[in-house]
Amino acid sequence: MAVIGALARANAEIRRQGSDPDAGQQRARRALRLADELLDQLELLMLRDEVELSHGDVESADRLRRAVIGAGVRRPRLRTEGGPLALMDDVYEIEGHLFHQVGRKT
């Protein structure tokens, strides 16, 4: 019996890319792009003195979480209940891990 669903597709993609030596770098770079986009969103919230995240911000954090896990970071912490500032701190920490993975200094 075949497993069907998003998790099965993600697992198959990870296995397929596992044979590509540059795949990990590509996944880390994609996660860095998503992190930069989320930081832009959060900076706008901070400029407007918003204290809560929008549904779109939470969805962006979830996309980043999936991308970061795909890049090999185990259990990334992205606190969406703590508001924009807490989430920004977490994104900066994750970026540090990703920069190290792609060989760049923070």
- pLDDT for 74: 86
DSSP 3-state assignment of 3?
coil
Based on its alpha-carbon atoms, the radius of gyration of the chain, rounded to whole angstroms, reads 15
pLDDT digit string (tens) for 59-84? 999 999 999 999 988 889 999 998 99
Question: Rounded to two decimals, what is the model's pTM?
Answer: 0.76
Integer Cα distance of 3 and 98 in angstroms = 31
Looking at residue 1, its pLDDT comes to 46
What is the tens place of the pLDDT at every residue in 9-42?
777 766 766 556 678 889 999 999 999 999 999 9
Residue 8: its pLDDT value, please?
75
Task: Locate the domains of the chain by residue range.
Answer: 23-102
Q: How far is CA 17 from the centre of its chain?
A: 18
Residues 86-97 pLDDT 10s? 999 999 999 999
